[in-house]
């Protein structure tokens, strides 16, 4: 095959974010994109499943739901109704380290979202009569996850990979914890974590930064803040392979292999990302080319890098093709891992991964709301949004030797958890 | 400059909205080019769309349209599938072959400087595919395994069963990827025949959105696509079977919830009452937590996390689904609430609800074009659905002229409670659903 193409001409343009901090500690990040008359307002609280003590798993997410159930000023569902009538789109999500509320609106009406977010940052009612049905809703959401063929499978994987670290806990929470949770628990959680000093607000889209900042100050400037401290937990080394089986009412088995990796700020983070791209990004990646197309072993296979604030994992999830034993698929995946350990990698493959990283950096800027989420994610997980701009360079520095070294250091039998999802019942 | 043999019949749209302009041109062979320039980032979205979707799958070979379009990325007369894909992915670009009911597409995204390469490769794969039998067998095995594993998802299994129950033998009866039972009935000759029948420039169009220069783009399209030979494309005309009575289907699964799908036929792409029907659905179950279904099922009673209703429409038909997932014990209550709300919306919708829907749809419209990708989606829809290039300019008027009577008429036309389909995937018995006259299909 001939590739007479060298990737030198393209240099990436760093993104520009305007950063401010109000006197009460609220971090404000503004990203201007004037392509379309749309603004995304996103409020991120620095709280998620990581912060939840045993017995209160799922509380951050249940609070997220209750945030739509009324404040002193606006009744239940008024938030949805008002954004809706303005033609906006809105929702929220909870993850390991953050709870994010977002609304996308036409540019002349984004102040509405600022006003409503400032209101529910301080005036949530959390009425018992609203709490009871909403808890049922969240329990149905948990059931939905359990009935997904792979939901419980991934939950068990985390639970076994991390024995002590809060990363073992599912964001949705355990059913018994949800059952036992009281309105007061959730209200106290709100009071503790929701204040300007524990939040980041991102405004992304067709705004002028001075005007956006003025509006943020107007609505959030007088809210009082309390400093929130975060405990740091760690997980001891794994020291031995862990294996589990899950039997379910499915027709096709599935496989997960999870290696303990590093936290998001670790220098090896870039190497894991390049490895992920070589193995499973695009149709010419090794997994898709070799294990799906050439050998017909997998119906689907993907690698995932989940590097968080304090620790991380590198995972592979695969579904065998009909007639292929799950054991042989597992073995062949290790074959691909071994190739990395032996340094079996061409310059073109490495360059392709780098080229993809750079173009993805550009492609991502297509969406202003997507950029807003990325800015918030990097700010909260790595400590600064500025790390987004260091990312392409970090990837470009990765060498073949780095890949061989990281593969040998982390992709070891004693450092992995392996799960089989098997048909039965 | 080389003479460009394009018929230049452009129209402008959205000039007042997000300031983007769509040009519609065509080559002598009938290939239509829809393009819109934008210069935010050095990137282009390119789609080659052929009206060869899963609706055209012959009975017993459902999945043929999918396998055909996916084979286009598996090798041409001059390069293998791997060489073809490397050429794209080495540049950091990406390419996908997708199939929907109405059309098949090859969609690519690349840096602007690679536009010519991408166009050249798209032209090559659609004019000179190699259709190698060993590549086909591998693809077929993979797709078959994927469908079987997807059916492990109760939601997907329910949708598949619903469409089959509703459309019976009519070709909208299957998901675009085909049935698990029919994908293996297809051979390489079927693929070649399907390709020869439908893949013609006069049955296709190209969408290009993003950072390019119009003049040079047109030269490239002309250079690579004008050799594509025009030919006659078969017409398919079939009648949708009548929907008679209340039909139910239960799929037993060892799970904690029942996945409920309730619905009817809906408007197709050309239906004149589409906008009132859509606004009716907004009030019923299409407006998130504020819809009537969400209020009754989720907000008041806490019976479900997910409750929704939507219309799915195509060139040759459409359907409506109201759906919910609730713990098995609540399945009957949820079905009763869906029926109650559908019956209510046939009779009663308020001026205030109508105005809310109008405010949402007019206010939300500009949010649909804030990325190149969404612009490309919009342009594709305008062409496939025959909305007219001035659709964006007419949009607000179309919404604002809807009256209560129009909504009621649409509700009465589409939501007939004597004729419906109900599919439930879950761990319940038929006897726990108390609907009079419901005929359970095995």
Q: What is the pLDDT of residue B237?
A: 86
Does the distance separating the beta carbons of A68 and B152 come in below 8 Å?
no
In a domain, A215, yes or no: yes
Which residues in chain A have their CB less than 8 angstroms from residue B98's CB? none
Phi/psi of residue B306, nearest 5 degrees? -110, 120
User: What is the SS3 assignment for A288?
Assistant: helix
**From CA A134, how far away is CA A178, in angstroms rounded?**
11
Read off the pLDDT of residues B239-255 as tens digits, 9 standing for 90 and up.
999 999 999 999 999 99
* CB interface of B with A, residues 80-139, below 8 Å: 81-83, 85-87, 89-95, 109-111, 113, 138
Q: Which residue shows structure tokens 């490769």? A: B121
CATH number of B246-441: 3.30.830.10
Determine the residue of chain B that is closest to A283 in CA distance. B85
**Pair A191, A264 in one domain:** no
Count of residues making up chain B: 442
In a domain, A235, yes or no: no
Of A3, A248, A252, which is closest to B148 when you measure between CB atoms? Answer: A252
Which among A161, A190, A220 is the end of a domain? A220
Q: What is the pLDDT of residue B192?
A: 98
A312-320 and B32-37: which strand pairing? unpaired
Residue range B156-172: mean pLDDT, rounded? 97
Determine the residue of chain B that is closest to A369 in CA distance. B370
**Pair A206, A296 in one domain:** no
Of B145, B301, B370, which is closest to A299 when you measure between CB atoms? Answer: B145
Output the CA torsion sign for B104, B109, B115, B120: negative
Residue range A331-350: mean pLDDT, rounded? 97
Phi/psi of residue B285, nearest 5 degrees? -155, 10
Q: What is the pLDDT of residue B1?
A: 36
Does the distance separating the beta carbons of B141 and A321 come in below 8 Å?
yes
Q: What is the pLDDT of residue B178?
A: 98
Residue range A181-204: mean pLDDT, rounded? 98
Radius of gyration for chain A, computed over Cα atoms and rounded to the nearest angstrom: 23
Read off the pLDDT of residues A236-253 as tens digits, 9 standing for 90 and up.
999 999 999 999 989 999
Please state the domain extents for chain B.
7-225, 246-441
Query: Do residues B250 and B424 lie in contact, with contact meaning Cβ atoms separated by under 8 Å?
Result: yes
Lowest mean pLDDT among A216-220, B117-121, B378-382: B378-382
Tell me, what DSSP letter sits at residue B295? I
Give the ipTM: 0.93
B217: closest CA of chain A, how far (Å)? 20
A233: closest CA of chain B, how far (Å)? 32
Does the distance separating the beta carbons of B364 and A359 come in below 8 Å?
no
Residue range A400-413: mean pLDDT, rounded? 98
pTM attached to this predicted model: 0.95
Q: Would you call A298 exposed, middle or buried from its count of C-beta atoms within 10 A (0-12, 13-18, 19+)? A: buried
Residue A6, pLDDT above cutoff 60? no
Helix, strand, coil percentages for chain A (3-state, nearest 5) = 45, 20, 35
**From CA B15, how far away is CA B351, in angstroms rounded?**
32
**Pair A201, A260 in one domain:** no
Burial B183-214 (b: 16+ CB within 10 A, else e): beebbbebbeebbebbbbbbbbbbbbbbbbee
Q: How many structural domains comprise chain A?
A: 2
State which residues form the domain around A207.
18-220
**From CA B428, how far away is CA B431, in angstroms rounded?**
8
Average pLDDT across chain B, whole number: 94
Q: What is the pLDDT of residue B13?
A: 47
**From CA B372, how far away is CA B370, in angstroms rounded?**
7
Q: What is the pLDDT of residue B245?
A: 95
Query: Do residues B153 and B100 lie in contact, with contact meaning Cβ atoms separated by under 8 Å?
Result: no
* CB interface of A with B, residues 18-47, below 8 Å: 33, 35-38
Q: Write the CA distances from B380 to A269, B107, B377, B397, integer angstroms.
A: 39, 11, 5, 22
Contact B41/A at CB under 8 A: yes
In a domain, A7, yes or no: no
Residue B340, pLDDT above cutoff 70? yes
* CB interface of A with B, residues 278-337, below 8 Å: 282-284, 289, 292-294, 296, 299-300, 319-322
Read off the pLDDT of residues A128-163 as tens digits, 9 standing for 90 and up.
999 999 999 999 999 999 999 999 999 999 999 999
Query: Do residues A288 and A272 lie in contact, with contact meaning Cβ atoms separated by under 8 Å?
Result: no
DSSP structure string for A378-405: HHHHHS-TTHHHHHHHHHHT--HHHHHH
Q: Which of the four pLDDT bands, split at 50, 70 and 90, describes residue A2?
A: very low
CATH number of B7-225: 3.30.830.10
Residue range B323-340: mean pLDDT, rounded? 97
In a domain, A368, yes or no: yes
Query: Do residues B203 and B65 lie in contact, with contact meaning Cβ atoms separated by under 8 Å?
Result: no
Does the distance separating the beta carbons of A136 and B302 come in below 8 Å?
yes
Q: Which residue shows structure tokens 């597992």? A: A330
Q: Write the CA distances from B113 to A88, A348, B51, B91, B185, integer angstroms.
A: 35, 20, 29, 10, 42
Q: Which of the four pLDDT bands, split at 50, 70 and 90, describes residue B117?
A: very high
**From CA B181, how far away is CA B137, in angstroms rounded?**
16
* CB interface of B with A, residues 18-37, below 8 Å: 18
**Pair A304, A350 in one domain:** yes
**Pair A151, A249 in one domain:** no
List the one residue out of B265, B254, B74, B65 whose CA is nearest residue B167: B265
Which among A167, A189, A220 is the end of a domain? A220
Q: What is the pLDDT of residue B18?
A: 58
Which among A169, A186, A220 is the end of a domain? A220
Read off the pLDDT of residues B47-64 as tens digits, 9 standing for 90 and up.
999 999 999 999 999 999
| CATH code of A339's domain | 3.30.830.10
Residue range B116-120: mean pLDDT, rounded? 98
């Amino acid at each position: 095959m001939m590739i007479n193409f060298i990737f030198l001409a393209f240099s990436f343009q760093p993104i520009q974010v305007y950063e401010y901090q109000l006197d009460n500690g609220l971090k404000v990040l503004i990203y201007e994109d004037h392509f379309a008359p749309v603004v995304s307002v996103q409020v991120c609280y620095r709280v998620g499943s990581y912060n939840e003590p045993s017995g209160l798993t799922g509380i951050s997410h249940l609070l997220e739901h209750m945030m739509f159930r009324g404040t002193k000023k606006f009744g239940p569902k008024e938030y949805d109704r008002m954004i809706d009538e303005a033609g906006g789109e809105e929702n929220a999500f909870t993850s390991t380290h953050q709870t994010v509320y977002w609304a996308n609106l036409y540019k002349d009406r984004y102040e509405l979202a600022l006003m409503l977010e400032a209101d529910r940052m301080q005036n949530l009612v959390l009425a018992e009569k609203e709490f009871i049905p909403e808890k049922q809703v969240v329990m149905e959401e948990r059931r939905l996850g359990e009935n997904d063929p792979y939901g419980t499978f991934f939950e068990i994987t985390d639970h076994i990979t991390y024995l002590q670290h809060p990363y073992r806990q599912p964001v949705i929470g355990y059913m018994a914890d949800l059952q036992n949770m009281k309105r007061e628990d959730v209200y106290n959680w709100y009071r503790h974590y929701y204040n300007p000093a524990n939040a980041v607000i991102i405004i992304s889209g067709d705004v002028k930064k001075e005007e956006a900042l003025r509006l943020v100050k107007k609505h959030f400037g007088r809210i009082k803040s309390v400093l929130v401290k975060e405990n740091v937990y760690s997980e001891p080394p794994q020291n031995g392979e862990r294996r589990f089986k899950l039997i379910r009412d499915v027709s096709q088995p599935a496989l997960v292999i999870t290696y303990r990796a590093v936290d998001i700020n670790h220098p090896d983070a870039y190497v894991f990302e390049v490895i992920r791209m070589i193995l499973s990004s695009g149709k010419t990646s090794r997994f898709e080319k070799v294990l799906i197309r050439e050998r017909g072993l997998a119906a689907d296979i993907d690698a995932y890098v989940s590097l968080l604030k304090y620790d991380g994992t590198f995972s592979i999830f695969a579904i065998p093709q009909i007639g292929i034993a799950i054991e042989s698929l597992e073995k062949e995946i290790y074959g691909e891992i071994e190739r990395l350990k032996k340094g079996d990698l061409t310059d073109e493959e490495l360059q392709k991964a780098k080229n993809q990283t750079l173009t993805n950096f550009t492609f991502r800027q297509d969406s202003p709301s997507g950029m807003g989420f990325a800015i918030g994610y990097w700010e909260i997980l790595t400590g600064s949004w500025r790390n987004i701009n260091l990312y392409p360079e970090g990837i470009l520095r990765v060498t073949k030797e780095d890949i061989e070294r990281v593969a040998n250091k982390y992709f070891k039998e004693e450092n992995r958890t392996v799960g089989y999802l098997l048909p039965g019942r | 400059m080389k003479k460009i043999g394009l018929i230049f019949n452009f129209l402008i749209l959205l000039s007042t909205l997000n300031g983007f302009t769509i040009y519609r041109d065509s080559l002598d062979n009938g290939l239509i080019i829809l393009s819109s320039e934008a210069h935010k980032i050095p990137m282009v979205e390119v789609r080659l769309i052929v009206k060869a979707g899963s609706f055209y799958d012959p009975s017993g070979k459902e999945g043929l349209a999918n396998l055909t379009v996916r084979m286009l990325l598996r090798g041409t007369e001059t390069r293998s599938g791997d060489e073809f894909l490397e050429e794209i992915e080495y540049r950091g670009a990406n390419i996908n072959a997708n199939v929907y009911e109405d059309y098949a597409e090859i969609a690519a995204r690349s840096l602007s400087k690679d536009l010519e390469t991408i166009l050249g490769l798209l032209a090559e794969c659609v004019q000179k595919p190699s259709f190698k039998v060993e590549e086909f067998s591998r693809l077929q095995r993979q797709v078959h395994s994927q469908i079987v594993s997807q059916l492990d998802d109760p939601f997907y299994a329910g949708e598949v069963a619903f469409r089959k129950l509703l459309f019976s033998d009519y070709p909208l009866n299957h998901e675009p990827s085909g049935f698990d039972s029919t994908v293996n009935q297809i051979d390489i000759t079927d693929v070649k025949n399907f390709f020869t029948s439908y893949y013609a420039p006069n049955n296709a169009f190209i969408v290009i959105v993003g950072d390019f220069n119009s003049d040079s783009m047109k030269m490239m399209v002309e250079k690579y696509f004008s050799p594509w030979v025009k030919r006659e494309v078969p017409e398919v005309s079939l009648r949708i079977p009548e929907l008679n009575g209340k039909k139910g289907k239960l799929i037993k699964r060892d799970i904690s919830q029942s996945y409920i799908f309730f619905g009817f036929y809906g408007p197709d792409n050309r239906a004149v009452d589409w906008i009132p029907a859509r606004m009716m659905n907004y009030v019923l179950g299409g407006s998130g937590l504020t819809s009537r279904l969400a209020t009754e099922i989720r907000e008041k009673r806490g019976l479900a996390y997910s409750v929704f209703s939507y219309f799915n429409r195509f060139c040759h038909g459409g359907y409506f689904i109201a759906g919910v997932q609730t713990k098995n014990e609540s399945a009957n209550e949820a079905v009763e609430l869906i029926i109650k709300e559908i019956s209510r919306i046939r009779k009663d919708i308020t001026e205030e609800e109508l105005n809310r829907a109008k405010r949402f749809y007019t206010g939300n419209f500009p949010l649909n074009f804030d990325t190149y990708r969404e612009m490309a989606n919009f342009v594709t829809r305008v062409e496939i659905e025959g909305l007219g290039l001035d659709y964006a300019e007419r949009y607000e008027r179309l919404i604002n002229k809807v009256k209560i009577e129009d909504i009621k008429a649409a509700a009465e036309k589409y939501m007939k409670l004597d004729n419906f389909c109900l599919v439930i995937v879950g761990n319940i018995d038929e006897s726990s659903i108390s609907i009079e006259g419901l005929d359970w299909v095995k």
